[in-house]
Every structure is written in C-alpha cells, then in structure tokens.
C-alpha cells in the first residue's frame, strides 16, 4: 500500500512539472504565431524580402488556384 501512495505522489509531481512547463511556454510566447512557420516553406521569397521578419502570406482562393494550374 505504501508503494501506491509513493507512485501517486510521484505521478502528481511529474504532472505538475509538465503543467509548469506548459504555462512557461505559453507565457514566453511559444504559441503566438502558429501560421508563419508552416507558410515559410511555401513562400520563402516573401519572407526574405521583408528582411527576415514574419509576414503573413494570403491564401489563394479556389479560382486563383484553378487559373494557376491551367497556366502550367
């Protein structure tokens, strides 16, 4: 029975450590910009022209995508 109590306290302490890490990451701004890193791969030239700053890239609508695919 003593081992179960030790394991409960150990699991609670690990869970609190993960919670503290998550709160620290949110407060330090790790999750502020989730769109730019994924768009950087698709539009690298737009980011280098802006001096390396994160610039949002507008998404193409369906008619523009069709026109571009027809031009190719």
Per-domain residue ranges of the chain: 1-32, 33-72
Helices and strands in the chain: count of H runs, count of E runs: 4, 0
pLDDT value of position 32: 80
* Residue 52 confidence (pLDDT) above 60: no
Q: Which residue has better confidence, 65 or 33?
A: 33
Q: pLDDT tens digits for 7-43?
A: 999 999 999 999 999 999 999 988 787 677 677 677 6
Q: Which residue has better confidence, 47 or 15?
A: 15
In a 3-state reduction of DSSP, which class is residue 31?
Answer: coil
Rounded Cα distance, 22 and 32, in Å: 13
């Amino acid at each position: 029975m003593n081992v179960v109590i030790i394991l409960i306290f150990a699991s609670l302490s690990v869970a609190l450590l993960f919670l503290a890490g998550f709160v620290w990451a949110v407060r330090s701004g790790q999750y502020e910009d989730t769109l730019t890193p994924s768009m950087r791969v698709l539009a690298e030239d737009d980011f280098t022209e802006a001096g390396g700053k994160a610039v949002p890239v507008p998404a193409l609508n369906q008619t523009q995508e069709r026109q571009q695919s027809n031009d190719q």
